[in-house]
Structure 1
Amino acid sequence: MAITLQFAGFDTKDLGVSTSPLAELMAMLHVWAEPDHHFDSSAQIQEIARQLDDQLIAEFNELSPLWARFRARFFFPLASDKNQIFERELAVLAALPLETFVSMAAEGIRGFSKGLPAAEKLLHDQSGRAEFLETCRSRSLGRFELADQLLQNPPEFRSRIIRFLADCWSSFFSREWEGLFVPLGGAAAQLAGKLQRADPATVVATLSVTAKAFPGLSEVRFDKLQQRRVQLSGRQLLLIPSRWIGNHLTVKDHAGYPVIVHFPAQAGQKEVLKIQQVRDRLSALSAESRMELFRHISAEPMTTSELAARLGQPAAQISRSLRVLREADLVVSERRGKLVYHRIDTAIVLRLGPDLLATLTR
């Protein structure tokens, strides 16, 4: 599955790069809500959370469906300003047309966009409203309660979100942003320079290890657990660097507003495995004979003949098993004089669990 950006007919004057404190705060909240998906950052965010008061934590828990998985569109810039300011972003959110806010909030609470009724139907049509609430209830009681609060009083619901975001700023995020403003601004400036020298699709394809450019089609595809095609012709495209997003690049597309690519800005992104690589590694260890061989060389490096003697198997069969494990990057073979020794790649094996999780949830 993939999110595809179609660049055919796209005007580069509609392309911008910007930092966004609101988007970065949302990224922090997302890590806080989904620590198992961001194991590299979860300890740091939990340390911050331990310093917060109970009321803010309770509000975070109740509102978390808005950023836990799908992430509501209004947390990203609603205008293509070069550099966003937090107070201004909150002011733009406060001035967002009410029906647009309801649509974006409902999409975030439910957790997916497909088949979402129009805001007018959610607010005024009993059957559409009931269907939406029941869908949210089927996902979780928390989502249902949040959806009901949204539809009962949209202006108060928006004010509640803005108050919570302002409290986050004063409690912890203003200090966090002081340390992030310069490096994220540098990442944005560096990317803007690249866009002046190269084709935008080519540059956008470098923003994530999950991306692939198709120059002949003027497309960039991001390997995601979604299937969507976004036509950029006549649209604005805004690229936003993030420290807290990890490797989890996000694409947001809401009619009438800039298409957002929220991308990891940290240097040296860790490679994210392709699904086939994960499948190959799990398959390599699924056979009992290969697992038994694997256990032997986990204790000490061994030659093919030693393994054949220990396991009571022909050397040719041992060689075939080693080849499967080696092709899955689980085994390293090293020559020492006239002999070749086989050992497990400890670093790869240690990351089997985290790599599997990162690949499945990107």
Structure 2
Amino acid sequence: MSVDIDISGLPTERIVFGPSPLAELGAALHVLSEPAHHPGLHGWATTTAAGLKPDLLGRMAEAEFLWRSTRSDILLPRGSMPPATLAEELDEVDALDDEAYVAAALEINASGCTLRSGGGRSPLVDEAARDAALERASARGPRQLGFAQHLLKDPATVRTWVRRLLEDCDEAFFADVWQRVRPQLAADARGKTDLLRRKGLADALEAVSPTVTIEETARSRRISIDKLADGWTAAMQPGVEPGVTFVPSTFGWPHLIVRQAPGWRPVVGYPVSAPELRPGPRTSQLMEKRLMAVAHPARIRLCWALARAPYTTSELAQGFGLSASEVSRHLKTLREAEMLTTRRHGRYVQHQLDVTVVARLGSDFLESILR
């Protein structure tokens, strides 16, 4: 499974890397709402939340669905290169018409997926789309329902309220954060841009994440982001500035954010730092193979032995009362999951469990489902 961005015919210079204060604020707000997703930032989240006034915390809770389960489109940059300041990015959000703003703000459903109901019809003017939006909001709880009702009744007031909330967050904690992290993000963006120019898109994407690749056929060219979901968008759409924007984040790991909404420029938000236990599996499919490999009772027993010392197939068969062919099949499954190391000693082939890979299974699983 993957989210694909069609870049067929797109000039390379239309693929840009740049830090976004608005996207970084959205990422920081997500960390405050879901600190369990980011164990490395638990101390920052605890300290920051403790220093915020109750009124601001309450307002953040009212709007947290905009950044908690997934990131609303309004919290990602609109143009090719994000502006240098949060105020400028908020001005770009203000330039959206009410229909685009409301659709983006109400698109998130209870599963953390995005839905654009009613065939793209606006809930401001279409009764069926309005009912669908309110039904989804109701499933998320009374806070989101109240927000949705207010937004549909008086979008101008709610838009002003959201901007004021983000500005107050900036004043309370984010301005200091941005001053601290901006040099790192700018340096990362410059490095990726230089890599793109010198070595090409494939190398630049590999530097973003091993899970981001370029896929080419005779008729198409696309950026593929490995995720436990399927999606598609295009870098060239009518009425949208062509291109793809990559936005680095110090708050990102383990998330890899992709904006794939029609009518919006594709944006990929990626982490610039991660825990020391890296690299993980290149794809979610490999992670699934590893979980399946250790799900069989016989393979669990074999892993118990292989974690302690190298063994040949015949030694394992004799030790566990299995046939050599059974052991071979189980070893093949572990090998295809890249969980074994193999070495030859004369005419004997010994196998041993890669304990580093096994140690990562939990974090790999978490990273894959949160990516």
1:167 corresponding residue in structure 2? 168
Residue in structure 2 matched with residue 229 of structure 1 by the alignment: 233
2:366 aligned residue (352, 357, 361): 357
In structure 2, do the counterparts of structure 1 residues 117 and 201 end up closer, same or farther at CA, with 3 Å as the change threshold? farther
Contact 1:302 1:342 in 2 (8 A): yes
Asked if 1:92 corresponds to 2:96, the answer is no
The CA distance in 1 between the partners of 2:323 and 2:260, in whole Å, is: 58
Larger mean CA deviation between 192-201 and 160-169 belongs to 192-201
Corresponding letter in the other structure for 1:135: R
- Give the whole-Å Cα distance in 2 for the aligned partners of 1:342 and 1:201: 34
Q: Which residue in the other structure is 1:104 paired with?
A: 104
Distance in 1 (CA, whole Å) between partners of 2:234 and 2:207 is 18
Query: Which residue number corresponds to residue 30 of structure 1?
Result: 30
CA distance 1:353–1:43, shift in 2 (3 Å): farther
Query: How far, CA to CA, are the matches of 2:13 and 2:318 in structure 1?
Result: 69
Aligned to 2:286: 277
The whole-number CA distance in structure 1 between the counterparts of 2:333 and 2:261 is: 46
| Worse overlay, 175-184 or 46-55 | 46-55
Structure 1 residues 357 and 72, CA gap change in structure 2 (3 angstroms)? same
The aligned amino acid for 2:358 is V
Q: Which runs of 5+ in 2 are unaligned?
A: none
Pick which of 213-222 and 335-344 moved more: 335-344
Question: 1:324 is matched with which residue?
Answer: 333
Alpha-carbon spacing, 1:286–1:35, altered in 2? closer, same or farther (3 Å):
same
C-alpha spacing 1:162/1:229, structure 2 compared with 1 (3 Å): closer
CA distance in 2, matches of 1:270, 1:204: 15
Match among 249, 253, 257 for residue 246 of structure 1: 253
Which stretch of structure 1 is more off in the superposition, 48-57 or 335-344? Answer: 335-344
User: Structure 1's 149 and 183: CA in aligned 2 closer, same or farther, altered over 3 A?
Assistant: same
Shift of 1:283: 2.5
CA 1:26 to 1:337, structure 2 compared with 1: closer, same or farther past 3 Å?
same
Structure-1 separation of matches of 2:325 and 2:129: 66
Deviation at 1:262, TM superposition (A): 2.0
Q: Is the 8 A contact 1:109 1:147 kept in 2?
A: no
Give the conservation status (yes or no) of the 8 Å contact 2:343–2:351.
yes
> Normalized against structure 2, the TM-score is what?
0.82
Give the TM-score normalised by the residue count of structure 1.
Answer: 0.84
| Aligned pairs for 1:1-362 within 5 A | 1-12=1-12, 14-81=14-81, 83-108=83-108, 111-117=112-118, 121-197=122-198, 199-200=200-201, 203-204=204-205, 206-216=207-217, 217-224=220-227, 225-232=229-236, 235-254=242-261, 257-266=264-273, 270-298=279-307, 300-301=308-309, 303-304=311-312, 307-314=316-323, 317-332=326-341, 343-362=352-371
Separation in structure 2 between the aligned mates of residue 237 and residue 318 of structure 1, nearest angstrom: 48
Find the residue that maps to 2:16 and give its secondary structure. strand
**Mapped contact 1:6–1:220 kept (Cα < 8 A):** yes
Determine the C-alpha separation between the residues in 2 that align with 1:252 and 1:229.
8
Superposition RMSD in Å: 3.3
Letter in 2 for 1:45: A
Aligned residues: 361
Structure 2: how far apart are the matches of 1:312 and 1:349? 25
Moved more, 325-334 or 100-109: 325-334
Q: In the alignment, residue 269 of structure 2 is paired with which amino acid?
A: H
Percent of residue pairs identical? 29
